[in-house]
């Protein structure tokens, strides 16, 4: 059974979907551990949540691109006596341009943040959840993990596809122990993601019905993992896109995806 005041750790909590998860979990009465690189933003968010919700908020600034970061983060939690009940692996970003158009360190950091860090955090925090008989893990993947890969942002879809498959296996391994795992797969979400990648002007060409608010994505993600959903795609339009991508022959899906992607690609 869940404890009275669960403790939730949210990575990438300084903005976008991560900040939305922090607000939504705080509204449910969770204490929080906020993780991201931008310490000032984390402290500002923590102050708001403490004041508005009366919860305990721990701020742990951390660059998950560093190989030792997940271990250090979990050691800090242990030293503070903090047992994590909910893990929201949200930290992520995109790398625009072609695969060979970026240096290897750029790709290495990307893989560390989007693949290695969330996998290691789950590995380190799962034993405690299993021992207590209660836990929730939300791995923020993407609709991109289902649709055909396209030129540009070469590693993004591949990384998100990994998170979906990883979540499925993890869910099946741990549900009998009281731990629910969900791959949350949003499509286009209003956040800073496209500002950071420099593609905001291009993405603004998309029609309004294609977009979801970060708060709605977080709300649906929380509901999905509580219901035991293993993979969840928020938004009817996104679910339709997923169904079409899975139904079409590979060659046709790749052709259509490539044709559309050229309209919204930088580099």
Residues taking part in catalysis: 156
For the chain, how big is the Rg over CA atoms in Å?
18
Distance CA 162, CA 148 (A): 14
| Residue 43 contacts residue 26 (beta carbons within 8 Å) | no
| Residue 140 contacts residue 92 (beta carbons within 8 Å) | yes
Residue with tokens 């969770």: 30
Distance CA 115, CA 131 (A): 25
Residue 55 to residues 73, 81, 187, Cα–Cα distance (Å): 21, 17, 31
């Amino acid at each position: 059974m869940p404890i009275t005041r669960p403790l939730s750790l949210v990575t990438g909590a300084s903005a976008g979907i991560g900040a939305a998860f922090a607000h939504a979990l705080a509204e449910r009465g969770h204490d929080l551990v906020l993780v991201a690189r931008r310490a000032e933003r984390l402290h500002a968010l923590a102050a708001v949540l403490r004041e508005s919700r009366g919860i305990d908020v721990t701020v742990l600034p951390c660059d998950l691109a560093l190989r030792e970061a997940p271990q250090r983060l979990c050691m800090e939690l242990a030293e503070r006596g903090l047992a994590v009940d909910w893990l929201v692996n949200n930290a992520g970003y995109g790398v625009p341009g072609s695969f060979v158009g970026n240096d290897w360190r750029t790709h290495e950091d990307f893989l560390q943040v989007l693949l290695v860090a969330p996998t290691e955090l789950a590995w380190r925090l799962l034993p405690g959840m299993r021992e207590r008989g209660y836990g929730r893990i939300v791995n923020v993947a993407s609709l991109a993990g289902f649709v055909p890969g396209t030129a540009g942002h070469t590693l993004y879809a591949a990384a998100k596809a990994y998170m979906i498959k990883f979540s499925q296996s993890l869910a099946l391994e741990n549900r009998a122990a009281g731990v629910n795992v969900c791959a949350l797969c949003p499509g286009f979400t209003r956040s800073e993601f496209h500002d950071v990648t420099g593609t905001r002007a291009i993405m603004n060409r998309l029609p309004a019905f294609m977009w979801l608010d970060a708060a709605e994505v977080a709300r649906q993600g929380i509901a999905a993992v509580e219901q035991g959903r293993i993979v969840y795609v928020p938004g009817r339009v996104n679910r339709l896109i997923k169904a079409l991508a899975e139904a079409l022959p590979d060659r046709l899906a790749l052709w259509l995806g490539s044709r559309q992607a050229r309209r919204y690609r930088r580099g």
